[in-house]
């Protein structure tokens, strides 16, 4: 079902082994820099390298949701890393200390993601549309909830935990570190505001309207995420609607003038790109023969332009729009099929235009050739839906994140939790209070 590869965090793994074998609990500050013992560098599914295609899993109750098989593999690997570090410590010293339960939960599983993930967001616009639609649906539902004292208190608790989690997040990227500091400051302002206001019917709308007017996008979206966390009964059911039928249907008898109007009304952002500007056409995307993964090259400088991938949707849409003008000048009553008979290579982009015109989300409204385009922003979109935390860019082309930090352990999943709410409340993990105290002599 899944093929994954991973490597150890050499510093963390070695330090954990040494300290456990000495009868000590490892220093939890190690997990504030890199919150894991193992880091995955690829998690393949959906038919890659001959493994089972996603269609084989659609009727499987455990893995029918997109990426559920891959994320299960990642979760199991996290547990393996915990078991392995304890095992190796015991081989060094049979009296080695076991990891405390709190520290085990604080161990996540790392992930390094590069350009290989970017094409997914471009090649699966209907699925991305569905994900964002469900997220916006969840947010809409909770914003309409009438706030009460209990929910207001709960949101303050979540805000304080998110603040502490960000403060503990020791990352190397200076720009992201400054962003995190700004979010901490703004979220602290929001928490202070919540302390001073009473629970009114439209309190959540007041909060989100203020955030939109006064805070950065990072803080706005963090507040939105925390609001969704408040009402699991309203939002958890939406996970059953995260899949999408991804077929793009051609409408051959659509009047060509209507196709042109679809572009001008639903994809007008693509027409704003100046394709005569060197900055707008700076990058090109190609596939590495060695790694079978996408790469970026500088147009006119790097080799491989003849093997360019068609990932920049905006320029393709604009070119079709220009061609439609020329075709309509000759025949104002032409149909889509007439155009495609003369331009058969445009059939895929025309299908996409016709299909995505009915979707509110899904298309990345940016020129992926532009000099200032940062692939890590594309990567973060998908990673966030999979639950990634500790976003740590490594340059513009790859990013390091942590999954499942603070999540229940396998042993806890198999036991009856005392309090289901506490059991499932592990977002924005913070370091255990006594993680570095010795537990064995």
pLDDT single digits (tens) 288-328: 877 678 899 999 999 889 889 999 999 999 999 999 999 99
- Among the listed residues 44, 65, 167, the one whose alpha carbon sits nearest the alpha carbon of residue 113: 44
**pLDDT, average across residues 162-167:** 97
Q: What percent of the chain has pLDDT over 70?
A: 97
Q: 3-state SS of 279-302? A: CCCCEEEEECCCCCCEEEEECCCC
Cα distance from N-terminal residue to C-terminal residue, the chain: 44
Q: Is the pLDDT of residue 436 over 50?
A: no
The C-alpha atoms of residue 58 and residue 70 are separated, in whole angstroms, by 14
**pLDDT, average across residues 218-241:** 93
Instruction: Judge contact between 127 and 67, C-beta under 8 A.
Output: no
The C-alpha atoms of residue 50 and residue 380 are separated, in whole angstroms, by 27
Domain spans of the chain, in order of start: 3-114+406-423, 127-243, 256-356
Q: Is the pLDDT of residue 73 over 60?
A: yes
> Please, which residues bridge with residue 39 across strands?
7, 110
The C-alpha atoms of residue 396 and residue 399 are separated, in whole angstroms, by 8
pLDDT at 423: 72
Instruction: Judge contact between 189 and 239, C-beta under 8 A.
Output: no
pLDDT at 115: 86
The C-alpha atoms of residue 254 and residue 262 are separated, in whole angstroms, by 11
Give the model's confidence band at 418: pLDDT under 50 very low, under 70 low, under 90 confident, else very high.
low
Alpha carbon separation from 396 to 39, 40, 141, 377, 379 (Å, rounded): 19, 19, 35, 9, 10
**pLDDT, average across residues 368-388:** 90
pLDDT at 420: 62
Q: Is the pLDDT of residue 31 over 60?
A: yes
pLDDT at 48: 79
Burial of residue 194 (CB within 10 Å: 0-12, 13-18, 19+) is middle
Give the model's confidence band at 376: pLDDT under 50 very low, under 70 low, under 90 confident, else very high.
confident
Q: In 3-state terms, what secondary structure has residue 241?
A: helix
Give the model's confidence band at 395: pLDDT under 50 very low, under 70 low, under 90 confident, else very high.
confident
Q: In 3-state terms, what secondary structure has residue 220?
A: helix
What long-range pairs does 341-349 form, CB within 8 A, spacing at least 24? 346/320, 347/250, 348/248, 349/313, 349/316, 349/317, 349/320
**pLDDT, average across residues 192-200:** 94
Q: Is the pLDDT of residue 441 over 50?
A: no
Question: Of 177 and 440, which is predicted with more confidence?
Answer: 177
**pLDDT, average across residues 414-433:** 78
pLDDT at 437: 36
pLDDT at 440: 37
The C-alpha atoms of residue 99 and residue 93 are separated, in whole angstroms, by 14
Give the model's confidence band at 434: pLDDT under 50 very low, under 70 low, under 90 confident, else very high.
low
What does the mean pLDDT of the chain come to?
91
**pLDDT, average across residues 120-147:** 95
The C-alpha atoms of residue 204 and residue 147 are separated, in whole angstroms, by 7
- Among the listed residues 71, 6, 70, the one whose alpha carbon sits nearest the alpha carbon of residue 37: 6
Question: Of 431 and 55, which is predicted with more confidence?
Answer: 431
Q: Is the pLDDT of residue 235 over 90?
A: no
**pLDDT, average across residues 327-338:** 96
pLDDT at 220: 98
Give the model's confidence band at 330: pLDDT under 50 very low, under 70 low, under 90 confident, else very high.
very high
B/e letters for 52-87, b = 16+ CB within 10 Å, e = fewer, are: eebeebeeeeebebbbbbbbebbbebbbebbebbbe
pLDDT at 421: 62
The C-alpha atoms of residue 115 and residue 396 are separated, in whole angstroms, by 10
Q: Is the pLDDT of residue 239 over 60?
A: yes
Give the model's confidence band at 44: pLDDT under 50 very low, under 70 low, under 90 confident, else very high.
confident
Give the model's confidence band at 412: pLDDT under 50 very low, under 70 low, under 90 confident, else very high.
confident
Give the model's confidence band at 53: pLDDT under 50 very low, under 70 low, under 90 confident, else very high.
confident
Q: Is the pLDDT of residue 67 over 60?
A: yes
pTM (two decimals): 0.91
């Amino acid at each position: 079902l899944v093929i994954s590869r991973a490597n150890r965090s050499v510093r963390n793994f070695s330090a954990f082994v040494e300290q456990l074998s000495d009868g000590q609990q490892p220093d939890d500050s190690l997990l504030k820099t890199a919150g894991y013992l193992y880091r995955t560098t690829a998690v393949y599914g959906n038919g890659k390298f001959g493994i089972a295609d996603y269609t084989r899993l659609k009727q499987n109750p455990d893995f029918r949701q997109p990426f559920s098989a891959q994320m299960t593999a990642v979760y199991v690997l996290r547990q393996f890393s915990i078991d392995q570090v304890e095992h190796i410590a015991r081989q060094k010293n049979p009296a080695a200390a076991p990891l405390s339960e709190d520290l085990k939960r604080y161990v996540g599983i790392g992930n390094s993601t590069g350009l290989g993930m970017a094409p997914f967001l471009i090649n699966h616009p209907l699925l991305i549309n569905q994900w964002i639609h469900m997220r916006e649906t969840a947010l809409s539902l909770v914003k309409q909830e009438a706030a009460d004292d209990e929910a207001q208190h709960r949101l303050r608790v979540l805000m304080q935990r998110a603040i502490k989690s960000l403060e503990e997040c020791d990352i190397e990227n200076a720009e992201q570190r400054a962003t995190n500091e700004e979010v901490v400051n703004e979220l602290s302002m929001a928490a202070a505001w919540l302390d001073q206001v009473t629970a009114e019917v439209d309190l959540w709308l007041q909060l989100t309207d203020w955030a939109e007017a006064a805070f950065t996008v990072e803080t706005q979206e963090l507040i939105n995420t925390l609001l969704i966390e408040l009402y699991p009964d309203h939002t958890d059911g939406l996970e059953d609607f995260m899949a999408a039928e991804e077929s793009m249907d051609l409408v051959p008898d659509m009047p060509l003038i209507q196709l042109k109007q679809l572009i001008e009304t639903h994809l007008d952002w693509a027409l704003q790109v100046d394709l005569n500007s060197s900055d707008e056409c700076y990058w090109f995307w190609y596939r590495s023969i060695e790694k079978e993964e996408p790469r970026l090259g500088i147009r006119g400088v790097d080799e491989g332009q003849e093997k360019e991938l068609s990932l920049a949707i905006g320029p393709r849409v604009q070119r079709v729009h220009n061609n439609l003008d020329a075709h309509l000048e000759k025949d104002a009553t032409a149909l889509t099929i007439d155009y495609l008979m003369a331009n058969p290579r445009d059939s895929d982009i025309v299908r996409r235009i016709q299909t995505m015109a009915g979707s509110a989300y899904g298309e990345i409204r940016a020129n992926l050739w532009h000099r200032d385009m940062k692939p890590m922003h594309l990567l973060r979109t998908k990673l966030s839906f999979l639950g990634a935390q500790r976003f740590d860019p490594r340059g513009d082309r790859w990013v390091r994140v942590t999954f499942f930090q603070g999540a229940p352990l396998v042993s806890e999943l198999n036991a009856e939790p005392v309090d289901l709410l506490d059991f499932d409340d592990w977002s924005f993990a913070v370091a255990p209070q006594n993680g570095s105290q010795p537990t064995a002599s």
